[in-house]
Amino acid sequence: MRVANRMTDKRLKALTADASCGIVPGLYVGVRKLKDGTYARYFLLRDRGLKRVFTLGKYPEMSLAEAFEKGLRWRKLIAEGIDPSEQEKAARDALRPSPAPQKEEDALTFEKLIWKWIEFNTKRGRWKNAEKSRDLVWDGFFRNHIPKEIRDCPVVDLKPQMFCDALGEKWGTMIDTPERILSDAKRAIDWAIRSEMIPPMVNPCQVVDGRLGDLLPLNRPEGGHEPALPPKRMPAFFKALMQLVPVSQTARCLAFAILTSARNTTAREATWGEIQQDDDGRWLHVIPRARMKVKSEKIPFDRKTPLCPEAVQLLESAPRVGRSPDSYIFPNVNKGRNSPFSRDSVRALIKRMHDKQKRIDGIGWVDPDQFHAKTGKPRIVTLHGLARATFNTWAKDAKGYSHKPFSRDLRESCLDHRNESYQCAYDREQALGDMREVYDAWGKFCMSLVHVG
């Protein structure tokens, strides 16, 4: 195992990228490039058990020797089950003079403000066409991303560093969640100021031209086209995926999404009531238009996806947690609550599969045509890329993959793209029949190696 060299002041002053300090496990220097071209350097302590990154201090205000001493001390506290940041905060609070009696508006915590803001905007109909209600979205944010220190903090006491500590690492690895959290939080605080719930203050969640923007990493994960596999590698990927299906509902969800060319949310939030039969007894996934990216204002009928035999078999073998039509097909039962898997769960599954495959072939499950801007390495595939981009590439190449030609309109209809000319111009049942041919061929292709070897 490679051991990091001990950091020195000379090396630290010249750092332009994050680097381990050595000596103390998990202690490293986080480097942030400022607008004026200079670099800010912070001592950070990562604990993989708690899945947290603690900020120890900023260099040179904190010396390297002080960082080593503090890192060792905090490591011991973590090993004893103590949160060192909470202990340090409690010690600081104990030294402060007793505060004056708080006014009612000063007691408005961040969590209370978010719920008030959501209630206000919901009554105004702001999110009436959203796929998921904003309170459910923020319930997930609070459970998975916002620490208690921020939730219970009075809004007037919030600082940019608190949000950087909570979301800094995710800001550099997750495409949209941290951005959505901070965008909503900024709007909520601005609303509280306009409504005179709190006195005027500098918004701690302002990223653009704000202090938080100076603290957060500059590097963001790539957007644009989602990384996808070349179709020729899909059967091998599906074989590896099907080995996980018996023990993983996330794997089953990913397999279903691929077989139905579904969008991320459409697959994860599928319910048993959406699985229906047509007049000939053939199975369909009937998705209310309100749950689709293209809403009823554009297309006046629900989305119907024919299910190939392989997709039907996935559902028949799936454990059923709830018996109501609204029960999720792929539930993530968390502390007794029935809810769909998060995007992060699917992303983590694919990452584990990639790591395992890379140990086998040195490549893993990556898009050979897309590369990380920072590392230059090929990007790991995603659900969206596998289920839609790989599917579309396969469907376009009839000769290369030995299936009958599928017209562009038919492919667009399978992908539920905005221009629904095929389904709108022709008899819908005929369109469904043609779509079924596409999905039946796709299902056979995906499963072609599952029972081989």
* Other Cβ atoms within 10 Å of 119 Cβ, number: 12
Regarding whether 252 and 196 lie in a shared domain, the answer is no
pLDDT for 303 beyond 70: yes
Q: What is the mean pLDDT of residues 264-270?
A: 88
Domain-terminating residue out of 186, 215, 244: 215
Q: Kindly report the CATH number assigned to the domain that includes residue 245.
A: 1.10.443
With a cut of 90, say whether residue 185 has pLDDT above it.
yes
**Confidence band for 402, pLDDT divided at 50, 70 and 90:** very high
Question: Does the pLDDT of residue 453 top 60, yes or no?
Answer: no
What pLDDT shows up at residue 222? 54
Distance CA 27, CA 31 (A): 13
Considering the domain architecture, whether residues 377 and 270 belong to the same structural domain is answered as yes
Q: Which residues of 324-352 are buried (b: 16+ CB within 10 A; e: fewer)?
A: eeeebbbbbeeeeeebbbbbebbbebbee
- Is the domain of 17 the same as that of 77? yes
Which position has the higher pLDDT, 83 or 336?
83
pLDDT at 335 over 80: no
Tokens (6 digits) for 24: 């103390």
Q: How far apart are CA 63 and CA 12, in angstroms?
A: 11
CATH of the domain at 158: 1.10.150.130
If pLDDT is split at 50, 70 and 90, which confidence band does 376 have? Answer: confident
Higher pLDDT, 293 or 137: 137
Average pLDDT over residues 280-303: 68
Name the region of 281 (left: φ>0; alpha: ψ -120 to 50; beta: rest).
Answer: left
* Cα end-to-end span (Å), the chain: 35
Confidence of residue 127 (pLDDT cuts 50, 70, 90): confident
- 105 pLDDT exceeds 60? no
Residue 431 to residue 193: CA distance in whole angstroms: 53
Q: Is residue 453 part of a domain?
A: no
Contact partners, residue 174, CB within 8 Å, separation at least 6: 221, 344
Q: In what order do the strands lie in the sheet with 27-33?
A: 19-20, 27-33, 39-47, 52-59
Q: Which of 269, 271, 273, 272 is nearest to 345 (CA)?
A: 269
Shared-domain flag, residues 147 and 211: yes
Where does the pLDDT of residue 352 fall: very low under 50, low under 70, confident under 90, or very high at 90 and above? very high
Per-residue pLDDT band at 422 (split at 50, 70, 90): very low
Query: Are 91 and 108 in the same domain?
Result: no
**Domain final residue, candidates 215, 241, 257:** 215
Domain that includes residue 132, residue range: 104-215
- 226 assigned to some structural domain: no
Whether 68 is covered by a domain: the verdict is yes
The proportion of the chain whose per-residue pLDDT surpasses 70, expressed as a percent, equals 85
Say what the pLDDT of residue 370 is.
Answer: 84
Residue 220 pLDDT greater than 80, yes or no: no
- Residue for token digits 């893993």? 364
For residue 99, pLDDT over 80 is answered with no
Residues 152 and 268 in one domain: no
Instruction: Please check whether residue 451 lies inside any domain of the structure.
Output: no
Q: How confident is the model at residue 290 (pLDDT cuts 50, 70, 90)?
A: low
For residues 404 and 347, membership in a common domain is answered with: yes
CA distance 185 to 137: 13
Q: Average pLDDT over the chain, rounded to whole?
A: 85
Do 33 and 108 sit in the same domain of this protein? no
- Same domain membership, residue 45 and residue 121: no
Alpha carbon distance 163, 147 (integer Å): 9
Q: Who's near 393: CB < 8 A, 6+ residues apart?
A: 228, 230, 231
Q: Could you tell me the pTM of the whole model?
A: 0.55
Is residue 403 in some structural domain? yes
120 contacts: CB under 8 Å, gap ≥ 6:
191
Domain count, the chain: 3
Answer yes or no: do 280 and 243 share one domain. Answer: yes
Q: E strands, 311-446, where?
A: 331-334, 337-340, 366-371, 378-380
Confidence of residue 421 (pLDDT cuts 50, 70, 90): very low
Regarding whether 250 and 334 lie in a shared domain, the answer is yes
Answer yes or no: is pLDDT of 209 > 80. Answer: yes
Place 97 in a pLDDT band, splitting at 50, 70 and 90: low
Judging by beta carbons within 10 Å of its beta carbon (0-12, 13-18, 19+), is residue 307 exposed, middle or buried? buried
Q: Considering the domain boundaries, does residue 78 fall inside one?
A: yes
Residue 224 lies in a domain: no
**Alpha-carbon dihedral sign for residues 354, 359, 361, 362:** positive
* pLDDT band with cut points at 50, 70 and 90 for residue 226: confident
DSSP 253-291: HHHHHHHTT--HHHHHT-BGGGEEE-TTS-EEEEE-GGG
Q: Residue 231 gets which letter from DSSP?
A: G
Confidence class for position 175, pLDDT limits 50, 70, 90: low
What pLDDT is stored for residue 261 in this prediction? 95
Comparing C-alpha atoms, which of 94, 74, 202, 140 is closest to residue 341? 140
The residue among 180, 215, 250 that closes a domain is 215
What percent of the chain has pLDDT above 90?
51
**Predicted local distance difference test score (pLDDT) of residue 388:** 93
Per-residue pLDDT band at 296 (split at 50, 70, 90) = very low
Do 199 and 254 sit in the same domain of this protein? no
Residues 6+ apart with CB under 8 A from 5: 22
The arithmetic mean of pLDDT across residues 306-335, rounded, is 86
> Residues of 355-381 as b/e, b for ≥16 C-beta within 10 angstroms?
eebeeeeeebbbbeebeeeeeeebbbb
Q: How large is the average pLDDT for residues 118-125? A: 90
Highest-confidence range of 3-12, 263-272, 286-295, 394-403, by mean pLDDT? 394-403
Name the DSSP letter for residue 46. E
CATH number of the domain where residue 79 is located? 3.30.160.390
Q: Is residue 189 part of a domain?
A: yes
What is residue 59's three-state secondary structure?
A: strand
- The letter for the amino acid at 297 is E
Residue type, 215: L
Rounded Cα gap, residues 378 and 367, in angstroms: 6
Determine phi and psi for 45, rounding to 5 degrees. -125, 115
Q: In terms of pLDDT, which residue wins out, 45 or 321?
A: 45
223 secondary structure, DSSP code: -
Q: 364-373, pLDDT tens digit by residue?
A: 999 998 887 6
- Amino acid (one-letter) located at 98: S
* pLDDT of 298: 46
